[in-house]
Amino acid sequence: MRIVNLENQKVAKKKLWQFPWDYKESFIIAAGLLITGYLLQITTRTSIKAVSAPVNYIIGALFIAMLLLLHFTSRTHPWVKWLRSVPASVSAIVLVLIQAIIMGTLPQQNFVEGVKPDVFGFSFVLTSWPFIIAQLYFLTTLGLATLNRMTPWQWKNWGFILNHLGLFIAMTAGILGSGDLQRYTMKLYENQLVWGAQNEEGVMVPMPIAFELTSFDMETFTPKLALADITNNSIETKGVNALRMISKGDSYDYKGYKIKIVNYIEDSKFTGNGYFPVNEEGATPAALVEVKSATIDTTAWISCGSFATEYSYLQLNDKEAIVMLQPEAKKYSSHVNVYVKDGKNDKTVIEVNKPYKVGGWKVYQLSYDEKFGKWSKLSVVELVRDPWLPAVYSGIFMMIIGAAYLIFKGRGTVI
């Protein structure tokens, strides 16, 4: 029997770029893709516009066909084996996380007004070259890893497959479907039938649905009292009682002033030397306020005013005044008649966060004429149609089922 001295036996060190590739090669490739993305972004200095049907369907079909071709014809090729490996997947996830961190940290043009585009695409991450390349790399590794578990089929892998295939479907549908997302706004005036809506550029677009506003309803919170600096029209917001909700009989101290709300009228109108309750358009909240301090002892009516009534405030000195802020909206809704071409007409109420669904569209209550407040004769609704949304939801549902199975069955091996 031959005795082998393990101490003298040297293990050959794996060279860089020698297959099978590991984390070092994976992160070098990921860094190269990231640099390539930013070089393309700096060179083109533009955002990538989303493509709509049928182009997005063709791109999706070609991408899936490429993954199937790689899997079934080159499954054992070192590059393909690396693309579905854990190191490649981890480097792809890191690449996507970098874009997510940038998007979550820096203001984005899509969500914050006044943000100017930059040369690196930091202000429009979702339509930049680095983001698209990162997503392509991630979906390639995800798709090949999923296919590797799917063939040959083994029931013990169904949780992994469902989870990863769901993620692939949700992300692919979300990216490709962004070009088919339709979002319009429609301005509804009382007793006027409206068929057209405006896109983001303000261009009128004919719609298959028409709305007629019958009434606009709004509930508001009780207005607040505040101390204002009349020299620069600013409101004091620091302190416990800086913004005090009005309540009849309430008393409180703020900045050396003892303030008491003697009376409050929700709907009033100024007549003669005071405010009196009325039930008419343009009625405004009003409060009789008593203020005492070392230098002042006075009582006066104040009001936030409306389109029909001027506002009034209680001046304390050359700099300060007690003012009433405009009441904030609690909820508002539109009562509308709905007319559908070649469809059934309807009557409904469109509320905030309670969209109305009709003909594949979701209709949201968006805004109103703030000048008129609860007396507004204008209601602005938003119409949204996303034909890819069912695919996204299906993918998310698959992810949840697969993840639940993996949690209960324990950790499996990942190839």
Q: What's the domain count of the chain?
A: 3
170 and 191 together in one domain: no
Q: Is 9 domain-assigned?
A: no
Q: Confidence class of residue 415 from pLDDT cuts 50, 70 and 90?
A: very low
Residue 409 lies in a domain: no
Q: Is residue 272 domain-shared with residue 153, that is, in the same domain? A: no
Domain boundary among 180, 211, 245: 180
Burial 330-356, CB ≥16 within 10 A → b, else e: eebbbbbebbeeeeeeeebebeeeebb
- Residue 110 sits in the same domain as residue 241: no
Give the pLDDT confidence score for residue 9 in this predicted structure. 54
Would residue 110 count as lying in a domain? yes
Which residues make beta-bridge pairs with 196?
206
3-class DSSP assignment, residue 166: helix
pLDDT in the model for residue 4: 53
Q: Are residues 34 and 160 both part of a single domain?
A: yes
Task: Name the residue among 151, 109, 152, 115 with its Cα closest to residue 127.
Answer: 109
pLDDT in tens, 284-330: 999 999 999 999 999 999 999 999 888 999 999 999 999 999 999 99
Give the pLDDT score at 200: 86
Asked, for residue 15, whether it belongs to a domain, the answer is no
User: What is the share, in percent, of the chain residues with pLDDT greater than 70?
Assistant: 95
Answering whether pTM is above 0.75, one says yes
Which of 154-158, 163-167, 408-412 has the least mean pLDDT?
Answer: 408-412
Q: Please indicate, yes or no, if residue 138 is contained in any of the structural domains.
A: yes
Is 32 part of any domain?
Answer: yes
What single-letter DSSP state applies at residue 209?
E
pLDDT(210) > 70: yes
Q: What is the mean pLDDT of residues 96-107?
A: 94
2-17 average pLDDT score: 64
Asked if the model's pLDDT at residue 8 lies above 80, the reply is no
Do 213 and 232 fall within a single domain?
no
- Which of 180, 204, 233 delimits the end of a domain? 180
- Whether a cis peptide bond, with omega within 30° of 0, leads into 54 is yes
Query: Are 99 and 110 in a shared domain?
Result: yes
Residues 158, 300 within the same domain: no
Q: How far is CA 91 from the centre of its chain?
A: 27
Q: State the pLDDT confidence band at 152, using cuts at 50, 70 and 90.
A: confident
**Residue 414 pLDDT class (50, 70, 90 cuts):** very low
Task: State the pLDDT confidence band at 5, using cuts at 50, 70 and 90.
Answer: low
Handedness of CA 50, 101, 146, 33 (dihedral sign): positive
**Residue 188 counted as domain residue:** yes
Question: Residue 3 domain-assigned?
Answer: no
> Which DSSP string do the residues of 240-308 spell out, in sequence order?
TTSSEE--TT-EEEETTEEEEEEEEEEEEEEETTEEEE--STT-EEEEEEEEE-SS-EEEEEEE---SS
Q: Which pLDDT score is estimated for 156?
A: 85
Give 151's pLDDT tier (boundaries 50, 70, 90).
confident
pLDDT digit string, tens, across residues 29-74? 999 999 999 999 999 988 888 899 999 999 999 999 999 999 999 9
pLDDT, position 62: 98
Q: What is the model's pLDDT at position 54?
A: 94
Q: What are the residue ranges of helices labelled H in 45-120?
A: 55-73, 78-83, 86-105
- Say which range, 103-112, 173-182, 391-400, has the weakest mean pLDDT: 103-112
Can you give the residue range of the structural domain that contains 354?
Answer: 182-219+330-385
Q: What is the mean pLDDT of the chain?
A: 91
Neighbours of 262 (CB within 10 A): 15
The band of 10, judged by pLDDT with boundaries at 50, 70 and 90, is: low
Reported as a pLDDT band with limits 50, 70 and 90, residue 349 is very high
Same domain, 207 and 348: yes
pLDDT at 2: 54
Does residue 80 sit in the same domain as residue 193? no
The tens digit of pLDDT for each residue in 378-401 reads 999 999 999 999 999 999 999 999
Here the tokens at position 409 are: 């069955």
Do 337 and 201 belong together in one domain?
A: yes
Domain stops at, among 278, 297, 327: 327
Q: In this structure, are 271 and 257 located in the same domain?
A: yes
For the segment 128-144, the average pLDDT, to the nearest whole number, is 97
In a shared domain, residues 29 and 95: yes
